[in-house]
Each structure stands twice: as C-alpha cells, then as structure tokens.
Amino acid sequence: MGKRVVLALGGNAILQPNQEASYDNQYNNVMSATRKMAELKKQGHNIVITHGNGPQVGNIIAQNEAAKDIVNPLPINACSAESQGFIGYMMEEAIKNHLNDLGISSDVLTLLTMVEVDKDDQAFNNPTKPIGVFFSEEEAKKLEKEHGFVMVEDAGRGYRRVVPSPEPLVIHGVNQIKKLINQAIVISSGGGGIPVYRDEHGDIKGVEAVIDKDRSGLKLAQQVEADTFMMLTDVPNVCVNFGKENEEKLKTISVEEAKQYVAEDQFPAGSMLPKIEAAIQFAESGKEAIICSLDDAIDALEGKAGTRILLDPSAKPVSC
C-alpha cells in the first residue's frame, strides 16, 4: 500500500550555489528534482511537496532594491508569495510533464499557502534570519535609520538585513489538502509559507518574517497526518563525527539516539540541525521521518537508503 508522504525540497535544489539565477537554469533544476517525485506517484504513494525559497526570495528582494527609485519595494511576505507562485508554477509544469511521460493520470495543484504565527512570538523581539543582498556598513546604517531595519555583519561579506523567524502554528488550507491528497500531487507551503497573524479582531494580517522551511514542513506533515516526512538534501545520509576519521553514516536510528547526537552537538545549527530536530518531533508520534538525497527517495521509502528516524526501530511505524 502506498504511503502518505510530505516531501520537503531545499531551495538550493532549485538554484544551486554560484549558479546564474536565470529562469532556464532554475527550470532545468526543477525538471531534474521533480522526476523522482513523479516516480513516487507511479509507485502508488500520495505526496504533498513543500520547498525552500531562500535563493529565489533573496533575488526578488535584490530586484526590489535595484528598482526602488522606480517602483516601491514589496514587503517580505509579498516577496514570499511571489516566490511561491514562481516556484510552484515551475514545479507543477515539470511534474505534469513527467507524469505524462510515465503515462500516469494525476492532477497537480499548487496552493498559495499562508502559515499562521503568533503575533507575540518572541522571535519578533530578536530577528535572526538573514535575507536579501549585502550592503556596506554605511549603507546598512542608513537603512537602519531610514527604515528601522535590523542589519548585521555576515561572515565578512558585508551587512544584511535580518528578520524574525517565528514558529509556524497553522497551515492554512490544510483540510482541503487532506481532501486532495488522494487525487492529486499537492504543492504547498513553499518557503515556509507566507507568514500571517491574527489581530485582536481575528483578522489576518501579513507580517515581515521568514518561517523556517523545515519547521513549516514538519507542521504540514503533522497536520495532513502524513505517514512519512521526508527531507530531501544533497547528501545521502546524516553523519556523525562529520569530516573526522571516525565519521559514521546513520541509517536507522531511534528518537532517543537522535536526541543524544543533538546533545553532543553533532549537527551544524545552520544546516542539518533543523532537519534532525524536525525529524525527531515527527517521529515522536510513532511515524517515520527520513533525511536522504533526492536520488535515493524511492529506496529510502523502502528502508534501503537514507537516514530513518523512528520512535522504536523494532516496531512498525504508525500508518494513517
């Protein structure tokens, strides 16, 4: 029987580091990335796809900055919505073409997805997420004075704006996603979702923030009641003692083991740690979390590749 799977694809799979940000480059990358997704559908799995948007939303913000004297810049939440539509369009077209090549009849739907956060989240008092282009110190001070931006020096490369990264609470439209998942491939919550909150009247308001895509993917997987939450990376396995003589690839581990590795600071905060933390939270419910390369996605679902995190590896994962 096929599984209900949430697939989380990183934004760098759509635009690779140091690659020219042309449409053709990004579309070709999307064509490669989505081929395995169509094959998963052919195998009978029902999938929801979410994706990162870091490079893409950064470029949109850079375009805003370059054209600010001609066109008023958009707020970050609107830039996030723009990137969701742009990436979703490419993914939907590519997947439909792959399905056609495979002779599969299945619809593909892209949902512009708002993700609700708490307006009182402490993240709003401590912006930490770098976005957009680099500025000189003089330019950064001017932006702080004129716009109230929080600017920080970033690894000797210049100054960047940092924004809040609040916790996702509710994936909007999740009830409709649950109805659609048996009939179509659904693309949702791209870039962590468009951040919104409810004001004192219960009205929805957009907010300038960036939600971590792994935490948002976790929330999506939980709320659609997925059997498996799969985070696709550019490495085949999670490793401990990375880069050392005693480096070890992790295959199937328990939640308890994963927590111990986190306590040992085995995973970098800016890359693997958020994925491991999201995997732990999902697996604690008795479900299956997987971190693997895109090429290994099919084998990983069969337990033959990648790193699987389970509450109890000796027990069968809970299915919907």
Q: How many residues belong to the chain?
A: 320
DSSP secondary structure, 22-42, as one string: -HHHHHHHHHHHHHHHHHHHH
11 is catalytic: yes
Among 2, 12, 251, 259, the active-site one is: 12
| Tokens coding 275 | 């994925």
275 is catalytic: yes
Among 3, 36, 41, 275, the active-site one is: 275
Among 3, 36, 41, 213, the active-site one is: 213
Range 11-38 burial, b when 16+ CB lie within 10 A, else e: bebbbeeeeeeeeeebbebbbebbbbbb
Taking the C-alpha atoms of residue 258 and residue 281, their distance in angstroms, rounded to an integer, is 11
| Tokens coding 195 | 């951040």
Among 41, 129, 219, 287, the active-site one is: 129
The H or E element that residue 132 is part of is strand 129-135
Taking the C-alpha atoms of residue 183 and residue 71, their distance in angstroms, rounded to an integer, is 41
- On the 0-12 / 13-18 / 19+ scale of CB atoms within 10 A, 170 is middle
Find the angle CA(279)-CA(282)-CA(288) to the nearest 5 degrees.
Answer: 80
User: Alpha helix (H) ranges present in 207-254?
Assistant: 213-223
287 is catalytic: no
| Tokens coding 248 | 């070890």
Active-site residue set: 11-12, 129, 213, 275
